Every structure is written in structure tokens, then in C-alpha cells.
Structure 1
């Protein structure tokens, strides 16, 4: 079985990234990392690999040169190979264009199972997995809280936890599956894994390799445009209620006045 996990290199939210003049996330001078949500998709792929050692696991990303760091991080956790789609024309692509490029790469890789996180930590749209399934004409199982590839049946099964019900869904492989952060803790790369990742194959493809026209990606082809960005207002000091024996009454009056109770 061949598994491909789509991952993304994102700004570390702890570094407080800003925005450029054209309303894009300013990635220059900001520490990047493998999206935390992607680590859960990597972990699920590795669990399948642990159960079926003949599985071949590849990681796929789209982005600038720095995005290779996300692939090396995933390879340090486990897996066999990685593919980096990098082309200057891709800069500024929205979710539909990203899905177009990923789908072209996936056709070339011919996986049995495509795994994605439920969203990226910088974009958060949750659109790309469904768009991939549409481009590839494959069944999709999204927002999986638990994932199982049933041995010998070419079937993937997930549990999806909703606000009102828990669903169990199945699909015949090949399929596209997105997983949530409820699937369990992702493993940490070992020192041995980090060293081994440096020797694992990492191919770089461009749009010409995939047959994707440059005018279908990038900021010029984006279907969504950010017109303005407003900074979050600074936090103000809270209200202190001194307790001189009647603190409980004062707190109740305050909550009532704010219509919290």
C-alpha cells in the first residue's frame, strides 16, 4: 500500500508573525515549522506503517524553499520519502490553487491513501482535503477522530465525533482522509530518526513537471482577496473586586450587572 501525507510549512504562532503590504502573512524573519495539526496526520500514517511494514509512506508539500523543513521534520518522525513542489508562480495561491497543485502531484504519486490534517494552522479553511477528493474523483472521509485501515479489505474506516452524534464511516481505497487532533498524541522524532531523515530521498518538482499552467495558480488566480487587516485590540485591565467580607455579594452584583447570570 502507498500512503501520501500532505503537510504544510507554517509560521510558528509563538513568533507572532505580521502581515505584508499586500495582506499576506509575513514569513520573512519568522520561525517556521511543520503545522501542528499535520503531525496528527503523520502519526496516523505511521501507525498504519507500524501495522503493515510493507506500506510505503511519502510526504508531500507545496511551498517555497523553506517548506522542505516541514518534510524533514515529518521524515524524522518516520516514513520513506518526500516530494516538495516549489515554483515561484505558486506564491499567493489560495486553497483552490493549492489543491490543484497537490492533486497534480498526487496523480503522479498514485497513492492508495491520501492523509491530510483537518486544516492548516495558518489558513484554517479545512477546504483542501475535500477539493483533493473532487480533483481525484475519490471518496473522502473527513474530520476523523479515529482511523483504521482494515487489513486485506482495501477499506479505510473512521470515527467522526460531531456535536450531536458519533458516526462510523467506511470507504474503499483509494481515498482521501482528513484527521483531527483528537486522534492521539503525535510521536517525537528520535535522534536516530533526525539523522536518518537527512539521507531519505526528497524530490523537488515544479509546475512544468506536473503540467499545471502558471496562470492557474498564484495571487493573480486567487478566488479570494483580503482587502484589509485590523489588528486585535490590546487587552485592558480587568475589574478588581476587593473582598472585605462581602466579596461574594460584590461578585454576584458584578456578574448580574454584566448579564452573565
Structure 2
């Protein structure tokens, strides 16, 4: 019995059969081929990356500025912004550096990349307070933060600046105000002043919207307070008419008859031709053709 076991053990531990040896060789060969193919793929990827090298990295300053300007003139704003930004980074003390900074801000703004545009224009303002184009820089910053282009959907629905977060509008106002106050003779001052008026009117409308919201929900003290804010801060804005109306009605609802009557007299004095106290409606603005449902 021991001899049988010994022979069996020898057979099990002995050399593999020819078929099993071939399988092992094939497996090793296949693994080697896979490794070679993988290495070739990696080498090809590296070669491809080198083939996509950015030529602008070796352009001289004048060529980079010229190409960036051409892209700007062709309205390729995304690319011209990157070109000007690269020029500023590569040649920070070159003759085109200042202009590249302000041009990159303009290009990013036109490409609707507001964050990048603000970074660029803020950097210019911080570094070049003595620049002869500083008035334009503040004006451009106002335009970037003003950003009243709502696109086709905003046009279709009739949404305006008063229905959005007023933070950006206030920041734009400060930039335009800087142009008017510090550079009154600037060619950008008249347009800055017009935009300031528009922003003020929009902010007043925004607060009236809030006052109306409070009033419609029965929060009459809150609506009166917000209406007073409009009257105090935006006394020349068209929205003051509705603010006074809300104030009259809020006091009336609160049972403050004397205050309501006093507010009504102020209303009549400032808006003698208005029928809002009787109708509860402001005279409607000119309606755009797509706002037919408001007619």
C-alpha cells in the first residue's frame, strides 16, 4: 500500500503534461503582449499631448497682443480674454500689460464670464490708480456688475432689474457714482449718470414689491415701514407713488386714521393727477408687444 501511495505522489508532483505546459507558456506570452500594448498606448498619449502644445507660449509680446486684439475685433471674446490674460502673465512689465488687463476684463464680460471679468477689472483698478483710463475701468466695472441682460427668457417674461437681487445693482451704482464724482468730465460720465438713475428707480421698485407683498399678506406694519423706506431713500423715483398709496392703506388697516389721512394729503399734493387712491392701480407703463397679457 505504501508503494502505491508513493507512486501516486510522485505522479502528482511530477512534471506537467505537454498540454498544461503549453497553457502556461501561452498565458505568459499573452500577458507580455498586453503589457507591450499598454506601454505603446501610454507613449502614444504622451506624443499626442506634445503635439497639442500651445503655440502662444512662445509668441513674442507684440504678436500675442496683435492676435488677442484680432480676436477681440472678431468678437471671439472667450479666446481674446485668455490671450490678454496670458500676455499680462508672461509680460507683466511690458508696454502692453496695462491695456491687456483692461481688455481681458472687457472680453470676459462680453463672453458672459462675469467672475473672470470682475477679477481682471478689480486687479487693474488696484494696480493702476494713476492710469489715464481709470474712468473707463470704473465704468466697465459698473457694466460688469450691472449686467441687465436677462436673455430671451427675461425679455419674454418682462422681468427687470427690480425683480432680482439688489446687491449687484448697488455695487454697479457705486462704480458709476465713482465715475460721476471723480471724473465729471469723462465721456463715460453722462451714461453713468443715466444708469445710476435707472438703478435707483429699479431699487425703489424692488422695495415697493416687498411692501406690496407684506400688505397683501396682512403684515401692515411691515408694509408701512418698507413704504416709508422707499419715500425716504428714493424720493424722486416713480415708485414713490405706489409707496405712498401702500402707506395710506397700511395705516388705514392698522386703525391709524390720522396718519392715513396725513399720508393721503401728501399723496394728493405730490401726485395731483393720480387716480391710484381711488382705483388702487398705478398708470401702466408702455407695454411691450410680448406682454399682451398685461394689457
Q: Could you say which TM-score interval applies, normalised by the shorter chain?
A: under 0.3
Of Structure 1 and Structure 2, which has the larger fraction of its residues in strand?
A: 1
Structure with higher Rg: it is: 2
Q: TM-score, normalised by structure 2?
A: 0.17
If asked which structure has higher relative contact order (CA below 8 Å, sep 6+), I would say 1
